[in-house]
Amino acid sequence: METVLEISGLTKLYKNGRGIFDINLNIYKGDVFGFLGPNGAGKTTAMKIMTGLMLPDSGDVKIFGHSVLTEFEKAMNKVGCIIETAESYPYLSPYENLKLFARFYDDIDNSRIDEVLELTGILKFKNEKVKNFSLGMKQRLGIAAAILSKPELIILDEPLNGLDVEGMIEMRKLIKMLAENERTTFFISSHLIHDVELTCNRIGILYNGKVVNVDTTENILKNFASLENYFVSEVGKNGNV
């Protein structure tokens, strides 16, 4: 199995004592990895380090064998991501936003931009200024930006934020589609247990800054009635819920 993402000994402490401690994780090609944990567990911190927004105190993250600390451009070349919130330049249209991002990659032409806008369902708004968009539409644009370069790894931090039920279903469909058709690897964080159960095929639980357990969804559902029971059991071993 080809390792896509390799996190080793990742540690980042904040002044208030929170943070992440010695995280080790391997994500393999074809994984739709669910990074599950309550709010404040350190999911976003870990993901910010993975995408170069933050520097770790120690440890390293390698994507496709390249360290994000020393070979950032190579590491990020086949990565698409949304971290914390899907941001875009409000004074530009979705099309113009994507046009800016496209410049960082080879072979992303205008038809690809239309394609991702179509996939995320905002093609008809492509020339409107983003500042008038709802949170859900901005989230869709964020997804479009993340998948624009046909990345082999997509890192999504709470991708369902701000989406309505219909949007959530479409989003899940999109992830499934990309995972199946393009063999895209996903790293998705969420605090929504049910959502992770439906979308992901491997699940890691982050609790109080530490990775508690990693297993496939299949294995978990063999032993537990639902992911929720598994979560409660695993967290229970490591303290109280």
Question: Should residue 10 be labelled a site residue for another protein when binding is judged by CB under 8 A?
Answer: no
- DSSP assignment string, the chain: --EEEEEEEEEEE-TTS-EEEEEEEEEETT-EEEEE--TTSSHHHHHHHHTTSS--SEEEEEETTEETTT-HHHHHTTEEEE-SS----TTS-HHHHHHHHHTTSTT--HHHHHHHHHHTT-GGGTTS-GGG--HHHHHHHHHHHHHTT--SEEEEESTTTT--HHHHHHHHHHHHHHHHHS--EEEEEES-HHHHHHH-SEEEEEETTEEEEEEEHHHHHHHSSSHHHHHHHHHHHTS--
The footprint of another protein on residues 84-113 (CB under 8 A) is: 84-85, 87-92, 96, 100-101, 103-106
Question: Should residue 161 be labelled a site residue for another protein when binding is judged by CB under 8 A?
Answer: no
Stretch 54-83: interaction string toward another protein, x if CB under 8 A: xx-------------xx-xxxxxx-x-x-x
Instruction: Tell the smallest beta-carbon distance from residue 198 to another protein (Å).
Output: 26
Instruction: Tell the smallest beta-carbon distance from residue 182 to another protein (Å).
Output: 19
Question: Should residue 241 be labelled a site residue for another protein when binding is judged by CB under 8 A?
Answer: no
Question: Should residue 137 be labelled a site residue for another protein when binding is judged by CB under 8 A?
Answer: no
Question: Should residue 114 be labelled a site residue for another protein when binding is judged by CB under 8 A?
Answer: no
Q: Which residues bind another protein (CB under 8 A)?
A: 48, 51-55, 69-70, 72-77, 79, 81, 83-85, 87-92, 96, 100-101, 103-106, 145
